[in-house]
């Protein structure tokens, strides 16, 4: 018998169903066929049309609808269908629940995914490995819950798959739990699985967040010698881990080896290298890497310039900082507050008060809000200009921005002996009164 969905338009199927010309088997066959084609809207419409036709959709039909809705990221509709199954005693099985959990996870509704796991238990539906994998993915950064699912799996004599371990390691990475991620990577190998790129990259990223640069390098070297080949994601995470450990030599070595292996270098990898050069004051290497990006790609972004600018600032290379800030504008990139603060600090060191005030005005033009660091750098840049200092103090009072002791000293030194000490005292008294009013409000 030919399926009802073959050779017929959707409109004709609806007409036949509403006219009672389709039997139970034909209606369910049509719904299942449309579900396999991921036509979720058509599936929902036919399921709705079944009610007045007194046709009870089968579990396969509901399951097709749940899967189609899930792949279309229509997780709420998938949950409605699952609830309809429960209401009409269609007894959803493990595949139906797994499809619904996967739909929730894919749409970011992870809490709903975990709720469905509890619903499965209430319905006495036994979980399989695939469902446990979906449940682990729903845990996001809740690594303790994910590990509990692994233990349940093993207690039920189910063998965790490579996907199981990869999902668990990714969960630990998001939960900033490097130690457990490394243990899981080792357990993965002991279980006879070959680590894949997802597991290894997640483990390296976990090492980055856990400041374990030696472990990150060990994993990367193992990938290079035994596979899988390290990709740019793993390399970028390893470079970032080395940067956090102030190991710029190792970070540079990773980037060099990736280039030698003809692995396509992306912006994330180079930005990680730039940040690695920031903390140990390797500003020349950072400038060189930025220049290479401009010459050969990838095109530097705000993060690229900001990291290089920060390296120059920490090395007190103020001329370099201002040049980088201007280059960022020439590249039609919008500087962030950190970049402005670095440029203002450079102006302060070079006593370029006019340039400092101009930058502060430009900052507001970008609709950025100056903070205490911004004002402190601006005050220092204007240290020899008492009127400019008093103007900045007025701006601070209006924005209720507080200064530290160093900034107060800078303001006092600028006004001392200039005939503006009284104005500074008025400002200090005004700040005290404003603070009292704020506390009383």
Per-residue pLDDT of the chain (441 residues; tens, 9 = 90+): 344 444 468 888 888 888 888 877 888 888 888 877 878 898 889 888 887 777 888 888 888 889 888 888 899 999 999 999 988 878 899 999 999 999 999 999 999 999 999 999 999 999 999 999 999 999 988 999 999 999 999 999 999 999 999 999 999 999 999 999 999 999 999 999 999 999 999 999 999 999 999 999 999 999 989 989 888 889 999 999 998 888 888 988 988 888 776 566 678 888 888 988 887 778 899 999 999 888 888 899 999 999 999 888 888 888 898 899 999 989 999 998 989 988 988 888 877 888 888 988 888 888 898 988 888 888 888 877 877 877 887 788 777 777 666 666 766 766 665 555 555 555 554 554 444 343 344
437, with CB counted inside 10 A (0-12, 13-18, 19+), is exposed
**Is residue 60 situated within a structural domain?**
yes
| Of 110, 138, 166, the domain-final residue | 138
Contacts of 53 (CB under 8 A, 6+ apart): 17, 18, 20, 22, 27
Q: How far, in Å, CA of 131 to CA of 101, rounded?
A: 8
Residue closest to 195 by CA, chosen among 158, 169, 232, 233: 169
What is the reported pLDDT for 429? 46
| Of 138, 173, 205, the domain-final residue | 138
**Is residue 412 situated within a structural domain?**
yes
Domain count, the chain: 2
45 is in which domain, residue-wise? 1-138
End-to-end CA distance of the chain: 79
Contact by Cβ (8 Å): 424, 412:
yes
**Is residue 293 situated within a structural domain?**
no
**Is residue 198 situated within a structural domain?**
no
What is the reported pLDDT for 435? 43
Q: Which two tokens stand for residue 182?
A: 């490394």
**Is residue 263 situated within a structural domain?**
no
Q: At what angle do helices 283-296 and 318-330 cross, to 10 degrees?
A: 20
**Is residue 144 situated within a structural domain?**
no
How far are the Cα atoms of 60, 88, 169, 355 from residue 91, in angstroms, in the given order? Answer: 11, 8, 33, 73
**Is residue 165 situated within a structural domain?**
no
In this structure, what CATH number is given to the domain that contains residue 45? Answer: 1.25.40.10
How far are the Cα atoms of 44, 89, 409, 419, 437 from residue 440, in angstroms, in the given order? Answer: 59, 62, 28, 34, 5
| Of 99, 115, 138, the domain-final residue | 138
CA dihedral for 86, 92, 94, 96, sign (positive or negative): negative
Please give the backbone phi and psi of residue 177, each rounded to the nearest 5 degrees, phi first.
Answer: -120, 85
| Alpha helical stretches, state H, 72-109 | 75-87, 94-106
Q: At what angle do helices 302-314 and 283-296 cross, to 10 degrees?
A: 160
Q: Which two tokens stand for residue 229?
A: 């080949």
**Is residue 158 situated within a structural domain?**
no
What is the reported pLDDT for 159? 95
């Amino acid at each position: 018998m030919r399926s009802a969905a073959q050779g017929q338009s959707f409109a004709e199927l609806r007409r036949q169903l509403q006219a009672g010309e389709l039997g139970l088997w034909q209606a369910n066959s049509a719904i299942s066929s449309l579900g396999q084609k991921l036509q979720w809207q058509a599936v929902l419409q036919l399921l709705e049309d079944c009610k007045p036709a007194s046709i009870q959709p089968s579990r396969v039909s509901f399951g097709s609808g749940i899967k189609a809705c899930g792949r279309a990221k229509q997780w709420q509709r998938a949950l409605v269908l699952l609830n309809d199954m429960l209401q009409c005693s269609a007894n959803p099985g493990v595949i139906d629940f797994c499809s619904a959990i996967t739909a929730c996870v894919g749409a970011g509704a992870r809490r709903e995914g975990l709720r469905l796991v509890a619903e499965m238990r209430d319905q006495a539906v036994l979980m399989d490995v695939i469902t446990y994998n979906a449940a682990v993915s729903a845990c996001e950064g809740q690594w303790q819950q994910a590990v509990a699912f692994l233990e349940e799996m093993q207690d039920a004599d189910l063998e965790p798959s490579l996907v199981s371990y990869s999902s668990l390691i990714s969960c630990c990475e998001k939960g900033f739990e490097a130690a457990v991620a490394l243990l899981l990577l080792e357990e993965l190998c002991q279980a006879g699985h070959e680590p894949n790129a997802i597991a290894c990259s997640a483990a390296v990223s976990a090492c980055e967040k856990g400041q374990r640069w030696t472990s990150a390098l060990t994993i990367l070297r193992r990938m290079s010698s035994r596979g899988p080949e390290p990709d740019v994601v793993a390399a970028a995470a390893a470079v970032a881990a080395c940067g956090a450990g102030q190991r710029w030599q190792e970070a540079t070595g990773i980037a060099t080896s990736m280039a030698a292996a003809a692995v396509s270098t992306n912006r994330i990898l180079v930005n990680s290298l730039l940040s690695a050069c920031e903390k140990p004051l390797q500003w020349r290497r950072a400038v060189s890497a930025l220049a290479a990006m401009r010459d050969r790609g990838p095109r530097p972004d705000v993060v690229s310039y900001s990291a290089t600018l920060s390296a120059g600032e920490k090395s007190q290379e103020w001329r370099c900082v201002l040049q980088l800030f201007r280059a960022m504008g020439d590249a039609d990139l919008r500087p962030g507050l950190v970049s402005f603060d670095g440029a203002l600090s450079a102006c302060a060191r070079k006593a370029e008060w006019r340039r400092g005030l101009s930058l502060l005005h430009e900052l507001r033009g970008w609709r950025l809000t100056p903070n205490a660091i911004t004002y402190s750098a601006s005050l220092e840049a204007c240290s020899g200009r008492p009127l400019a200092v008093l103007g900045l103090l007025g701006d601070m009072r209006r924005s209720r921005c507080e200064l530290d002791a160093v900034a107060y000293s800078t303001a006092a030194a600028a006004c001392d002996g200039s005939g503006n000490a009284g104005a500074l005292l008025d400002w200090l008294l005004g700040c005290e009164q404003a603070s009292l009013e704020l506390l009383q409000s």
